[in-house]
Structure 1
Amino acid sequence: MLRGRWIAMLGLCLVVAGIFAWLGQWQLGRAVQVDPTPEGATEIVRPIADVVQPGEYLTDSLVGQRVEVTGTYLPQDFLVVSSRYNDGVEGYWVTGQLRVDGTASPTSVAVAVGWAPTLEKAQAAAKKLEAEPATAAPVTVTGRLIADEGPVTPPRGSDPQTMTRMSPAALLGQWHDVDGLDVYRQYVASESASGGLADIHSSPPRQGSGVNWLNIFYAIEWAVFAGFAFYLWYRLAKDAWEKEVEEIEDARAEAAGAPSGPGGDAESGG
């Protein structure tokens, strides 16, 4: 272990372990919220622009935040999303593209307008919203800001345009007038339905403890990796030592069993 090769290897292990220790400290820093969201903060209605910007991801503390946004619905973009539960009952959402007012460039946010128990009622409500003159007028929507659920492929044998997840990314693929459009990654679940739909039931998000245990487990893993770096150095050095000892013992055994000289076989040959 005092040879130059193994001292250099130890130095490399120290560097690797230092990196792992830094990563563990970084994870611990993320695990504890030094400024947690006050209880009930998500229930205060805030302008959407004060919470998140188009294209940005939403932090965990802001998921479910009540926001308001003013804009105009595009009549041709009322789409139906299936597998939506309202108070435990499965049904459908009618969603719309709300073109936000007061932005420097065209910006839209997906809005869950309301809930229907059957596909037929959801489709009828969507057509009703498309035909209503009031739909094209500016409206202020208040609701919860919820993260994208992620698009999934439609069930086998169904319409290719079928959506079973509330995903602005998937909705964007069917929206009109999207050239140069900025889009929020999140969607707003409206508190007040329109078009004859039922209000969407959306409970307040549960308040966390201020400690992210997943990050703590990651920090422990990095500490284990740092310790393994030293164990690996020890194990390699020990294996090299054991190999040298074995070679020395084999050489001694071979020397002990070798003939003493040219006449060593005289008796057996006589």
Structure 2
Amino acid sequence: MWRLARQPRWIAALVLALAIAAAFAALGQWQFSRSIVEATVVDRDTETVRQLTDVVEPQTPVMADVAGLMVSFEGTVVPGDSTVLTGRLNGGEAGYWVMAHVVVDNGASVAVALGWAETEEQAEAAAAGSVGIAALVPFQGRYLASEAPQEGDFESGERNTASVAALINEWSTPFESVYGGYVVSADAPDGLVDIDSPVPDDEVSLNWLNIFYAAEWAVFAVFAIFLWYRLVRDAWEREQEFAAEDAAEAAAQDAAESAAVDRESTPPENRDPSARTPSAKR
């Protein structure tokens, strides 16, 4: 079999199989490296308070390096644009958030979660009280990415997600630009409770899907070489079958020739009568 494998065409097939296996191995290495990269934890300083206008621009998405930062700014609460969100947990207890429309001193708008209330009446009262806030006041809190829009029955008037896209549709006051995320205020106004906003958990785990793909590519690489071996072995087995058939035909022909020679060399009186020809019997 290895004599057959050293033929030029099978050597070329082996080179092709090795090239394919190398490509599959490279793809597996890439998938494995992706699982490691996605599992790398970046140590971020999220608790140092930064100016909102220095770390993010309006009309831009909230990137991973910005989400969860503590920011500060000065702004004005827009009267009549406060919204109450339902079903918001605070320390494991369900309640209500009061979201306000705040115009930052640079002219851009930002959604701010002012505080949490246990009952809807308290939240509504606090939302109504925020109408009186008209002066430029300092804010400090955690900047978070916008949540997905609500999928439930929002036609009923209840809101349960801090979706910037949904909130700006309810703001009655025109605005020029808006920040892509929202701010959870660190200090709640009177009538509300501070919202529990813990330090972002950046702990991640290995991406097992990428590892599974890497293992698949390794199997494909091994299979490419095994396929070459199987093809060579099949060709060798076919040669063995053809050689065995040729040998059987040659042996049968030799046996027939030998029998013919024996009949010719045997005297007529010693020959088997059954083997005589009809003319000899007559």
What does residue 15 of structure 1 align with? 23
How far the C-alpha of 1:202 sits from its partner, in A, is 2.6
SS in structure 2 of the partner of residue 43 of structure 1 = coil
Q: Retained in 2: the 8 A contact 1:154–1:162?
A: no
What does residue 233 of structure 1 align with? 224
Q: Retained in 1: the 8 A contact 2:99–2:112?
A: yes
1:124 aligns with 2:120: no
Greater shift after overlay, 108-117 or 166-175?
Answer: 166-175
How far the C-alpha of 1:91 sits from its partner, in A, is 0.6
Q: Retained in 1: the 8 A contact 2:21–2:220?
A: yes
Q: Retained in 2: the 8 A contact 1:52–1:58?
A: no
**Number of residues paired by the alignment?**
245
SS in structure 2 of the partner of residue 165 of structure 1 = coil
Structure 2 residue runs of 5 or longer lacking an equivalent are 257-282
Aligned-partner Cα distance in 1 for 2:79–2:124: 14
How far the C-alpha of 1:194 sits from its partner, in A, is 2.4
What does residue 215 of structure 2 align with? 224
What does residue 190 of structure 1 align with? 185
How far the C-alpha of 1:93 sits from its partner, in A, is 0.3
Structure 1 residue runs of 5 or longer lacking an equivalent are 265-270
State the TM-score, normalizing by the size of structure 2.
0.69
Q: Retained in 2: the 8 A contact 1:28–1:219?
A: no
Aligned-partner Cα distance in 2 for 1:66–1:147: 13
**Residues 145-187 of structure 1: per-residue CA shift (max 9 Å, x gap):** 22333223124xx635432222223323323456652422x22
Aligned-partner Cα distance in 2 for 1:125–1:174: 18
1:1-270 mapped onto 2 (5 Å cutoff): 2-25=10-33, 27-29=35-37, 31-33=39-41, 36-37=43-44, 41-54=45-58, 55-59=60-64, 63-102=67-106, 106-130=107-131, 132=132, 134=133, 136-155=134-153, 159-177=155-173, 181-184=177-180, 186-194=181-189, 196-205=191-200, 208=203, 212-215=204-207, 217=208, 220-221=211-212, 223-241=214-232, 244=235
Q: Retained in 2: the 8 A contact 1:17–1:225?
A: no
How far the C-alpha of 1:88 sits from its partner, in A, is 2.6
Identity %: 31
How far the C-alpha of 1:113 sits from its partner, in A, is 0.9
1:36 alignment partner AA: D
| Pair 89,249 (structure 1): closer, same or farther in 2 beyond 3 Å | same
Aligned-partner Cα distance in 1 for 2:48–2:30: 38
How far the C-alpha of 1:227 sits from its partner, in A, is 1.6
2:61 alignment partner AA: E
1:214 alignment partner AA: L
Greater shift after overlay, 188-197 or 4-13?
Answer: 4-13
| Pair 128,246 (structure 1): closer, same or farther in 2 beyond 3 Å | farther
Q: Retained in 1: the 8 A contact 2:78–2:173?
A: no
Which one has a larger percent helix, Structure 1 or Structure 2?
2
Q: Retained in 2: the 8 A contact 1:92–1:115?
A: yes
| Pair 177,10 (structure 1): closer, same or farther in 2 beyond 3 Å | farther
RMSD after superposition: 3.6
**Residues 13-32 of structure 1: per-residue CA shift (max 9 Å, x gap):** 32342244245335535544
